[in-house]
Amino acid sequence: MRYLLKNGSLFTEDGFRPADISVADGRIVSIAGGLDAAPGAVTVDLHHAAVFPGFVDVHVHLREPGFSYKETIRTGTRSAARGGYTHVCPMPNLNPVPDSLEALNVQRELIARDGLVHVHPYGAITRGEQGEALADLEGMAPFVAGFSDDGRGVQRGDMMRTAMVEAKRLGKIIAAHCEDNRLLSGGYIHDGTYARAHGHRGICSESEWGQIARDLRLAEETGCAYHACHISTRESVALIREAKGRGVDVTCETGPHYLVFCDKDLQEDGRFKMNPPLRSREDREALLSGLLDGTIDMIATDHAPHSAEEKGRGLENSAMGVVGLETAFAAVYTHLVRPGRLPMPRLVELLHGSAARRFGFGTPLEAGQPADLTVFDLDRPFVVDPERFQTMGRATPFAGMELYGVCRMTMVDGEIVWREEIG
């Protein structure tokens, strides 16, 4: 297909500028003002909406194979498209666990058949994500974004060191779910104000930052490219900031919910339960500081759909995880960019640029590049209604909240995979 995207407001580091975008054969042909449609091209009037490079989410759960009652490749990638994402990286806590090329290929076949955006799976670090024996990293390496035992974490330091040595040899990233199971003590929310006031068992901050400290030492020793997933504590920010200062090859991510909410916002509802949990106000402010000074490299959703029954058991008994692909941009834009706490160029860097450089996918808005882009009406408010989500999951702490920034269109390889007409 050929397209002419008319009357866009193109994002640049220096601000937005009016531009038309010509697309043919999956690529951007030209970006300029006053372009005319090529023969046979479909003209789409963007009505001066903002045009961004397609976002990259390096941490999602698409649940297939094995848990298609929660999500499928089709519904998850449609959710991603509606959120402005053109690249996503699903975690390996699946059935079968992708711990060999044979097992990984089960997932890859589903992706090839049903994926609406670019999908780059992770391979498991250990067999079955059990932490006892190394997975076939070499066999999977050409086909994965990196390696992770997300949802469990690698408990043994010697096993993590072995994995890092092998990942270094293969030129791949270790993306770590950092959680010391010895310190959990049956907790399910942050060990803070809300837990003490309402009689809940808490998860201490050290269960996260203690393992990050371990991994940073191992990454420095082995030279492995290390990525810390969903950091939530002020100690984690400080440790990573210091490690970067001494040259450790480390990047990290946090999620939109950790930037907007803290444990004082908790309610007795499963839609507020995720792992790691919502932390203290002081932790949230440390995360915001980390965004601004470059310590935190990426915003990733940890999109984790569950069934209504699994999320309907209250704060204590519901499954861990919330959905986030369709609200991520709007949540951060509304709560941080519009109030002036985060510059728009920094937000785009957190959603696109850093992940593109670190993981090697995601392309800029330039002539000759793949036409992977997204279009947002930044001035249009909407109320988050989970019943309108494209994902099968409905649990989100943003439910009922008014946000700004509606995704009008997402294009992947020059084809429109999401479009929402507005007014």
Residue 269 one-letter amino acid: D
Q: Where are the alpha helices (DSSP H) in 223-255?
A: 234-245
In sequence order, which residues have a C-beta less than 8 Å from that of residue 30 and are 6 or more positions away?
21, 22, 367
79 pLDDT band, cuts 50/70/90, is very high
Tokens of 203: 């998860």
Q: What percent of the chain has pLDDT over 70?
A: 99
pLDDT at 370 over 70: yes
Tokens of 276: 């790691």
> Nearest-CA neighbor of 377 among 418, 315, 321, 422?
422
Cβ 263 vs Cβ 241: under 8 Å: no
Residue holding tokens 């019943």? 387
Confidence (pLDDT) at 333:
98
Distances (CA, A) of 299 to 254, 277, 278, 345: 5, 16, 15, 13
- Between CA 419 and CA 81 the distance in angstroms is 9
Task: Say which DSSP state 187 is in.
Answer: -
Distances (CA, A) of 330 to 56, 252, 371: 15, 21, 22
pLDDT at 421 over 80: no
Check the CA dihedral 53-55-58-62 and report its sign: negative
- Between CA 151 and CA 184 the distance in angstroms is 14
Q: Do the strands 42-45 and 27-32 form a parallel or antiparallel pair, or are they unpaired?
A: unpaired
> Nearest-CA neighbor of 135 among 103, 168, 95?
103
Domains along the chain? 2-51+368-419 (2.30.40.10), 54-359 (3.20.20.140)
Burial class (CB in 10 A: 0-12, 13-18, 19+), 146: buried
- Long-range CB pairs of 309-313, under 8 A, 24+ apart, other chains included: 310/70, 310/270, 311/270, 311/271, 311/273, 311/393, 311/394, 311/395, 312/270, 313/270
Read off the pLDDT of each residue in 363-382 and give the average, rounded to a whole number.
97
Q: Do the strands 15-24 and 225-228 form a parallel or antiparallel pair, or are they unpaired?
A: unpaired
Confidence (pLDDT) at 423:
45
Read off the pLDDT of each residue in 280-304 and give the average, rounded to a whole number.
98
Q: What is the mean pLDDT of the chain?
A: 97
Catalytic residue among 99, 191, 297, 302: 302
- Between CA 374 and CA 51 the distance in angstroms is 6
- Between CA 303 and CA 319 the distance in angstroms is 13
3-state SS string for 369-398: CECCEEEEEEEEEEECCHHHCCCCCCCCCC
- Between CA 84 and CA 13 the distance in angstroms is 19
pLDDT tens, residue by residue, 41-74: 999 999 999 999 999 999 999 999 999 999 999 9
Q: What is the value of pTM for the model shown?
A: 0.97
302 has catalytic annotation: yes
Question: Which residues make beta-bridge pairs with 87?
Answer: 56, 118
Q: What 3-state DSSP class applies to 75?
A: helix
Q: What percent of the chain has pLDDT over 90?
A: 97
pLDDT tens, residue by residue, 301-340: 999 999 999 999 999 999 999 999 999 999 999 999 999 9
Read off the pLDDT of each residue in 248-266 and give the average, rounded to a whole number.
98
- Between CA 6 and CA 32 the distance in angstroms is 10
- Between CA 287 and CA 230 the distance in angstroms is 11
Confidence (pLDDT) at 422:
54
Between the two ends of the chain, the Cα-to-Cα distance in Å is 26
Confidence (pLDDT) at 359:
98
Task: Say which DSSP state 141 is in.
Answer: G
Which DSSP string do the residues of 257-285 spell out, in sequence order? HHHH--GGG--SSGGG--SSPP--HHHHH
- Between CA 11 and CA 404 the distance in angstroms is 17
pLDDT tens, residue by residue, 113-145: 999 999 999 999 999 999 999 999 999 999 999
Q: What 3-state DSSP class applies to 202?
A: strand
> Nearest-CA neighbor of 243 among 228, 258, 259?
228
